[in-house]
Amino acid sequence: MQIDPNSPIGVFDSGVGGLTVVRALMERLPFENIVYFGDTARVPYGVKSVETIAHYTTQIAEFLLAKDVKLLIIACNTMAAVAAQVVRDLSPVPVLDVIDAGAFGAAQATRNKQIGILGTPTTINSNAYAQAIHRYDPDIRLYSQACPLFVPLVEEGWLDHPVTRLTAQEYLKPVLAQEVDTLVLGCTHYPLLTPLLQDVAGPNVRLIDSAQAMAERAAILLKEQQLGNPNRGAPRYEYFVTDVPVRFQTIGERFLGRTLANVHVVKW
């Protein structure tokens, strides 16, 4: 199949959290057109079964492929953890997922080979980060921590709230006790907590933001496969969501770091 470099990059997530990945892509690849899909009607995925997540993921990937995307990016750690292969099996275009990107970044960053992983319960239970990191270096020791309260706290906008700080201290205590030097932010929402988490973890712990790592991976892939958009005009950004919940605009713009326009609602 001939892939058109002018086509957009398709990015998807269970909700608006994947806009942290879109934001990193916009900064790293400013000429690329992007189509985003957020399943705002069915979020959160992080507590759903593997079968349900695989089914929803297939629907979304097929939707974006019908938009003729040149690259599919699974921005949701939970979908990447349990359904990345489902997407690879059905996609005729390259597929990147945040877990692989974050794992690569973490394996490169660690000096003492002790890494902590933070994620939703489904992501942590899947063991996907451990498997991905061990593909890069089997000697790394991993300490995982599910942080189910972080997603609602971020959506509430409590990015530097005493409740969030206390929650982070509780979640990080057992991981930091293992003297990790690298901490993977294994969920779309966690990059918004970076200042607070860095403060709790201390200056000697390196935080791996999988959104940044993903933007870097995407840039490398587009270059290698000569799929970068040759057009130097202003890029087109389009957003598809399955619902427009209360405070959608405010929360979405917080993730994206800019105005959210061109939003279409898909009714399934």
Q: Given the rule CB under 6 A, which of 1-9, 84-92, 158-166, 183-191 is the region that contacts ligand DGL?
A: 183-191
Does the footprint of ligand DGL cover residue 38 (CB under 6 A)? no
Select from 18, 176, 179 the least CA-distant residue to 101: 18
Determine, following the binding rule CB under 6 A, whether residue 78 of this chain makes contact with ligand DGL.
yes
Distance in angstroms (rounded) separating the CA atoms of residues 79 and 36: 15
If one asks whether residue 229 binds ligand DGL (CB under 6 A), the answer comes out as no
Q: Minimum distance between the CB of residue 187 and ligand DGL, rounded to whole angstroms?
A: 4
Query: Candidates 20-28, 73-81, 100-108, 139-147 — which segment interacts with ligand DGL by CB under 6 A?
Result: 73-81
Interaction of residue 146 with ligand DGL, rule CB under 6 A: no
E strands present in the chain: 9-13, 34-38, 71-74, 95-97, 114-119, 141-146, 182-186, 206-209, 237-241, 263-265
Active-site residue, 187 included = yes
Specify whether the CB–CB gap between 182 and 208 falls below 8 A: yes
H helical segments located in 140-236: 150-155, 162-176, 194-201, 210-224
- Rule CB under 6 A: say whether 57 interacts with ligand DGL: no
147 catalytic, yes or no?
A: no
Of 197, 138, 132, the C-alpha closest to 171 is: 197
Using the minimum distance from each CB to ligand DGL, give the nearer residue, 115 or 227.
Answer: 115
Q: Which of 34, 43, 60, 84 binds ligand DGL (CB under 6 A)?
A: 43
Pick the stretch among 20-28, 76-84, 168-176, 192-200 that binds ligand DGL (CB under 6 A).
76-84
Select 145 or 188, whichever has its Cβ closest to ligand DGL: 188
Q: Which is nearer to ligand DGL, 217 or 229 (CB)?
A: 217
Show Cβ contacts of residue 50 under 8 Å, excluding neighbours closer than 6 positions: 82, 83, 122, 126
Number of residues that bind ligand DGL (CB under 6 A): 17
Both structure tokens of 14:
């269970």
Pattern 108-137, binding to ligand DGL, x per CB under 6 A? ------------x--x--------------
**Long-range CB contact pairs, 228-232, < 8 A, 24+:** 228/5, 228/29, 228/31, 228/32, 229/5, 229/6, 229/31, 229/32, 229/33, 230/5, 230/6, 231/6, 231/31, 232/31
The residue number whose beta carbon is nearest to ligand DGL equals 46
Residue 11 engages ligand DGL in binding (rule: CB under 6 A):
no
**Crossing angle of helices 77-90 and 50-65, rounded to 10°:** 60
**24, 81, 118, 187: which one is catalytic?**
187
Contacts to ligand DGL by CB under 6 A? 13-15, 17, 43-46, 76-78, 120, 123, 151, 187-189
Catalytic residues: 76, 187
